[in-house]
Structure 1
């Protein structure tokens, strides 16, 4: 996977191998369905909403002397070992945590870029091919923004987490259209929408807030398109495959939305007591149940819209609302 690697500078790519079945159109002037017309409208909207980070954003507003996010959204705040540090070091550690989270977002956007480029060939209809080509352009712009943002803030690009790396590889190497669509548009895009809204709410950077508003408009189109096309694909899918896909997506979403690997890595580097940090993070999550709910709300809605909210998937999501399981999930994520 392209990108600099803070821990191993010599390793800058991750190879994957994919075999795809594509469709080359020989006839264009065919009667379109209402779904095709909606995809064509999304394609036209993408052209109208096109933006460029070097023209539409004011990069002069970046100030690394201030915290990247409001303290109330920083899981390290309140942790004794962190609070003992000088204000300058706390700011530095907050930027380190922020850069690791932005790196994770950058890798997710790159995954969406690569999967969308594969979907250009795999999708059958002309309207769908046209729209997904705009998503490739959108995702490239998102990758460019987050990469440029980290450079402008003098922060490195960190490797993706093992959770995200595994999911990205699965999406890229799969030759099955519903699997690619569901990981790209239901899993990655849904969680991205929730995280971008959260970042925009708590960011201290006017540049980041403006960029996220623009990116959120793009992502909304992608999710609209993906859930609609996936719903069509699910109609011809055997029930057992649909049930397994829905359950797998929920399990993947939980692994991504509840991981505290960033804080754990900082703790190890600083020589902090990791057991105490786990207890602190457990309390942080349990005292903010709305945080996990908001991160999964968009995913749940899109899973349902696509026809993948099977009984098994719904049972797993509902079980997490029980206090005992919520505590267990917080323990696992810490």
Structure 2
């Protein structure tokens, strides 16, 4: 099997990326838990660990024409004249490249989350948060592994996009611990949940759907972690400090909303990226998708107290303000329930296969 480094459709400038850091490693000599809710989340994080090699059935293969078996409505250039006149083989290649590009961003983003969460463990002052963040570090490593193994079946990968790289770099470079939470736990993880859900809920390929379902089960806890930590902290800040964070949120929201243009894919396939971008902008599905990205972000932003006039106006102009009233607790419970349904489905299939094998063996013996 090819290695990921040999699968990149575009040449990498370097095999490593170094981001300079400037923050203090914080020790805390008070080991007694201070927040029941945070420690409850830590216990849950410990109890819900899973092994990607065991929980997922990697013997399943991807579809040749449509790897994740997603509806073409989810392909951004579906309906575009250039796409519609392609042969079946050419369309299959477009689907493969776009899906590999999307999964690559998931994988790259999860490595960003891995590094950011390790930074949180080092930097956050309270022991409760250090405890929980330590469970998230292993979660993120498992997510990188899962997406890497799924991409290996594509035999194709793409580098991290510039907008995602810019936001991760900005998040890592900031010396304030809460900005790491805000950039990663709220914005990047929140947007990722909406993207994962699109595949979990629409992919007909069982492996692709299951990978995203299980990752979402973890990620919903991660967003809850950021919510708990920041809700206690932000009331202590001055109005000027909160305004600065609201400005960061708006900039990050615009940046991440526009990172789904997949310009790297269209250029690599010899398509006009400007024409593709124009089609995507006017696509009904993509407009709905861009808006839905904020389902998990706005309720958290509002809940932690970053809800001044400027940020409300910004989200109103983006057309996503209504998502502020989403019940994130219900969404988290749904993510957990759906993941357990995937477990139950696999056990059911395995039990049927075992019974069938037993029947065959009995018949052969007779």
Equivalence for 1:108: 109
Report the more deviating stretch, 267-276 or 211-220: 267-276
Equivalence for 2:235: 235
**Residue-by-residue CA offset, 1:111-137 (whole Å, 9 max, x unaligned):** 111010011121222222111000001
Equivalence for 1:179: 179
Equivalence for 2:93: 92
In the superposition, relative to structure 1, how do residues 159 and 201 fare at CA in structure 2: closer, same or farther (>3 Å)? same
Work out the CA distance in 2 between the residues paired with 1:183 and 1:300.
Answer: 13
Equivalence for 1:50: 49
Deviation at 1:95, TM superposition (A): 0.9
Equivalence for 2:313: 315
Number of aligned residues: 313
Report the more deviating stretch, 50-59 or 252-261: 252-261
Equivalence for 1:330: none
Matched residue SS, 1:249 = helix
Report the more deviating stretch, 65-74 or 184-193: 65-74
Deviation at 1:268, TM superposition (A): 2.8
Deviation at 1:305, TM superposition (A): 1.5
Equivalence for 1:266: 265
Aligned: 1:12 with 2:28: no
Instruction: Tell me if the contact between 2:63 and 2:205 (Cα under 8 Å) persists in the aligned partners.
Output: no
Deviation at 1:316, TM superposition (A): 0.7
In the superposition, relative to structure 1, how do residues 275 and 174 fare at CA in structure 2: closer, same or farther (>3 Å)? closer
Work out the CA distance in 1 between the residues paired with 2:159 and 2:249.
Answer: 23
TM normalised by structure 1 equals: 0.88
Deviation at 1:10, TM superposition (A): 6.0
Report the more deviating stretch, 199-208 or 131-140: 199-208
Deviation at 1:178, TM superposition (A): 1.5
**Residue-by-residue CA offset, 1:120-168 (whole Å, 9 max, x unaligned):** 1212222221110000010110011111111122112x22111111111
Matched residue SS, 1:20 = coil
Deviation at 1:9, TM superposition (A): 4.3
Report the more deviating stretch, 288-297 or 232-241: 288-297
Deviation at 1:292, TM superposition (A): 2.4
Instruction: Tell me if the contact between 2:60 and 2:207 (Cα under 8 Å) persists in the aligned partners.
Output: yes
> Where do residues 275-314 of structure 1 align in structure 2 (5 Å cutoff)?
275-285=274-284, 289-314=287-312
Work out the CA distance in 1 between the residues paired with 2:95 and 2:212.
Answer: 20
Work out the CA distance in 1 between the residues paired with 2:312 and 2:258.
Answer: 18
Equivalence for 1:327: none
- Structure number with bigger Rg: 2
Work out the CA distance in 2 between the residues paired with 1:8 and 1:270.
Answer: 14
> Where do residues 139-288 of structure 1 align in structure 2 (5 Å cutoff)?
139-156=140-157, 158-262=158-262, 264-285=263-284
Instruction: Tell me if the contact between 2:193 and 2:216 (Cα under 8 Å) persists in the aligned partners.
Output: yes
Work out the CA distance in 2 between the residues paired with 1:272 and 1:250.
Answer: 31
- Structure 2: where are the runs of 5+ without partners? 321-366
Equivalence for 2:64: 65
The 4+ residue runs of structure 1 with deviation greater than 4 A are none
Deviation at 1:180, TM superposition (A): 0.7
